[in-house]
DNA sequence: CGTTAACAAAGTGTATGCAATCGTCATGCC
DNA sequence: GGCATGACGATTGCATACACTTTGTTAACG
């Protein structure tokens, strides 16, 4: 009876709701500061309030929504300062991952990283923004995994997911694609040399560039 | 006030449950791998299953419990490797905080940090472990706040809370108190000089020492 | 006319009931 | 005798109902 929905039924209904609501927030259907009415959401997704409540609790734990006791949930309004702090954190975390990757990646991981990186240059020359963005995600994931530190992986994944809505449009900036590749190249090169500090620094520089590119859009669109 | 029940009602019942269950886990009443039966917990705390469920969801988001669909929740069993990765993360995060603190602390924050640090030397000479541990917490909190980065603050606070159960006994090691103070001193000195890199390095060294001291106990007590 | 208090409506928080799912045990077949 | 399959029990997951808190509005009093 439940496996008939058009939604993918990976896990429990709560999980589906979490992703559904998170998507709405990320897409922009639900704006920062907007109230999240439990009954309305329940009706909209044709479920009861209980899974909605649990989903909101999880989203609150993720930081996507704010939940005041007895006063409902609202979409977290991230200030410019908070956003900047998150990007800064991201740069630091990626720096850590890159440094650890340079010191700890297995030969197999190194090979995969470099081959993917070299292959991605094709996407740059062809100007395939969408595909490059997909590869870019994979590239960074490689770094996170290569650090061989489960907790850092968690932290960096969490931060990245929170920043996802704001990172979307950065590749629209002219020349950003090629610059991104060059920055990746610096990271890969340092990792291949086993130079942890250089890799970390390169990664920090890279993310800071991305941050600036992204903040341009946000500052233009937000209040 | 709303405190008509015998229980202290700080916030919502769910919050109380979260803290209560988390306490049980931290204290050791609930051992890693132990099953968390919703009905049992509900009866034990004299509430219904609903707030227990929400509490478990939050605890799962915090990482203290694992929740398999339809199979209940169990206390997260942290492996030695995971624990090491968390301590390592902690060292990196504290390093970041110390570096930022060196560059960004206000004069008022610097003064508070140094005066507290100097005052703590008295606790070391008197061998007041309990009080020093309390001060130690405050010392590190100063660093977290001094970094002036809300997201890093969140991450480091989260990690610290997860490590709390394992950090408990470290000050029992002989001479750890004095060594801890010396390490603090190196951090404070670097921050006062405004030397970010030195402060970060000193903080990393410090936390790594703490990690080793703590892992000694864990390895001795765990499987 | 402004301020405050009380009431009403809306929405969250909690409790309980029912359905679906998973684990276990027993029985039958290979 | 061992393994697979089916049924039963236990526990989780979801839905609904009710109680309490909050907030906005209105009316009365200063």
Structural domain including B47 reads 13-75
Q: Is residue B2 in some structural domain?
A: no
For residues B68 and B113, membership in a common domain is answered with: no
pLDDT for position A106: 96
For residues A135 and A84, membership in a common domain is answered with: yes
Query: Is B151–A11 a contact, with Cβ atoms under 8 angstroms apart?
Result: no
Query: Is A88–B50 a contact, with Cβ atoms under 8 angstroms apart?
Result: no
> Across A51-60, B32-41, B187-196, which has the greatest mean pLDDT?
B187-196
A196 CB contact with strand D at below 7 Å: no
Give mean pLDDT, residues A38-50.
Answer: 92
A13 CB contact with strand D at below 7 Å: yes
Identify whether the C-beta of residue A165 lies closer than 8 Å to the C-beta of residue A215. no
Looking up residue A96, the CATH number of its domain turns out to be 1.20.120.530
| A75, A92, A123 - which closes a domain | A75
Looking up residue B29, the CATH number of its domain turns out to be 1.10.10.10
pLDDT for position A49: 93
Identify whether the C-beta of residue B89 lies closer than 8 Å to the C-beta of residue B83. no
Residue A84 or residue A27, greater confidence? A84
Interatomic CA–C1' length for residue A35 and nucleotide D28, angstroms: 34
Phi, psi of B36 (to 5 degrees): -110, 95
- pLDDT of B118 higher than 90: yes
Give the C-alpha distances (Å, rounded to integers) separating A53 from A48, A67, A70, B50: 9, 11, 12, 10
pLDDT for position A27: 76
Q: Is residue B7 in some structural domain?
A: no
For strand C, give the nucleotides within 7 A of a protein CB: 11-17, 20-23
How many domains does the structure of chain A reveal?
A: 2
For residues A90 and A134, membership in a common domain is answered with: yes
Q: How far is A156 from chain B (nearest CA, A)?
A: 10
| A75, A93, A122 - which closes a domain | A75
For residues A140 and A50, membership in a common domain is answered with: no
Q: Give the Cα separation of B69 and A19 in Å (integer).
A: 16
B67 CB contact with strand D at below 7 Å: yes
Give the C-alpha distances (Å, rounded to integers) separating A96 from A12, A82, A210: 34, 21, 17
In B, which residues are within 8 Å of A96 by CB distance? Answer: 92
For residues B122 and B25, membership in a common domain is answered with: no
- pLDDT of B220 higher than 60: no
Residue A68 or residue B219, greater confidence? A68
Q: Is residue B4 in some structural domain?
A: no
Interatomic CA–C1' length for residue A72 and nucleotide C3, angstroms: 29
Q: Is residue A5 in some structural domain?
A: no
For residues B22 and B121, membership in a common domain is answered with: no
pLDDT for position A114: 96
Identify whether the C-beta of residue A164 lies closer than 8 Å to the C-beta of residue A26. yes
Q: Is residue A94 in some structural domain?
A: yes
Give the C-alpha distances (Å, rounded to integers) separating A29 from A33, A132, A215, A222: 12, 26, 20, 15
Give mean pLDDT, residues A176-204.
Answer: 95
pLDDT for position B213: 78
Nearest CA in chain A to B60: A58
Task: Give B170's pLDDT tier (boundaries 50, 70, 90).
Answer: low
- pLDDT of B221 higher than 70: no
Question: Lowest-confidence range among A75-79, A180-184, B84-88?
Answer: A75-79
Sheet holding A65-67, edge to edge: A35-36, A73-75, A65-67
Nearest CA in chain B to A148: B85
Q: Is residue B165 in some structural domain?
A: yes
Chain B residues with CB within 8 Å of chain A CB: 11-12, 14-15, 50, 53-54, 57-58, 61-63, 69-70, 81-82, 85-86, 88-89, 92, 96, 149-152, 154-155, 158-159
Q: Give the Cα separation of A133 and A141 in Å (integer).
A: 12
Q: How far is A118 from chain B (nearest CA, A)?
A: 30
Q: Is residue B145 in some structural domain?
A: yes
For residues A117 and A47, membership in a common domain is answered with: no
Nearest CA in chain A to B10: A69
Using a pLDDT cut of 70, give the percent of chain A over it: 88
Q: Give the Cα separation of A149 and A104 in Å (integer).
A: 10
Question: Lowest-confidence range among A16-25, A196-205, B1-10, B67-76?
Answer: B1-10
Classify strands B73-75 and B65-67 as parallel, antiparallel or unpaired. Answer: antiparallel
- pLDDT of B217 higher than 50: yes
In B, which residues are within 8 Å of A14 by CB distance? Answer: 57
Query: Is A92–B89 a contact, with Cβ atoms under 8 angstroms apart?
Result: no
| A75, A106, A126 - which closes a domain | A75
For residues B38 and B131, membership in a common domain is answered with: no
Q: Which of B54, B81, B86 sits opposite A54 (nearest CB)?
A: B54
For residues B183 and B118, membership in a common domain is answered with: yes
| Chain Cα centroid distance, residue B120 | 20
pLDDT by residue (tens digit) across B48-65?
999 999 899 888 888 889
A14 CB contact with strand D at below 7 Å: yes
pLDDT for position B211: 87
Closest CA to B139 of B127, B126, B121, B155: B121
A74 CB contact with strand D at below 7 Å: no
For residues A71 and A113, membership in a common domain is answered with: no
Q: Is residue B8 in some structural domain?
A: no
pLDDT for position B195: 97
For residues A30 and A132, membership in a common domain is answered with: no
For residues A143 and A53, membership in a common domain is answered with: no
Q: Which of A14, A92, A150 sits opposite B96 (nearest CB)?
A: A92
């Amino acid at each position: 009876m439940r496996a008939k929905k058009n939604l993918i039924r990976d896990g429990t209904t709560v999980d589906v709701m979490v992703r559904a609501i998170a998507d709405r927030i990320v897409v922009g259907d639900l704006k920062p500061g907007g109230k999240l009415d439990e009954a309305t959401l329940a009706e909209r997704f044709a479920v009861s309030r209980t899974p909605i409540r649990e989903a909101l609790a999880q989203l609150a734990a993720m930081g996507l929504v704010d939940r005041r006791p007895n006063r409902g949930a609202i979409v977290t309004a991230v200030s410019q300062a908070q956003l900047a702090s998150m990007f800064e954190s991201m740069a630091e975390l990626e720096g850590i991952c890159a440094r650890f990757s340079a010191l700890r990646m297995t030969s197999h991981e190194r090979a995969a990283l470099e081959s993917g990186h070299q292959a991605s240059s094709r996407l740059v020359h062809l100007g395939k923004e969408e595909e490059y963005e997909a590869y870019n995600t994979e590239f960074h994931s490689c770094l996170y995994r290569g650090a061989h530190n489960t907790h850092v992986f968690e932290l960096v994944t969490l931060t990245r997911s929170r920043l996802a809505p704001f990172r979307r449009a950065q590749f629209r900036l002219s020349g950003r694609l090629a610059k991104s590749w060059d920055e990746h190249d610096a990271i890969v090169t340092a990792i291949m040399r086993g130079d942890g500090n250089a890799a970390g620094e390169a990664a920090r520089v890279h993310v800071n560039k991305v941050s600036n590119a992204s903040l341009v859009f946000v500052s233009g669109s937000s209040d």
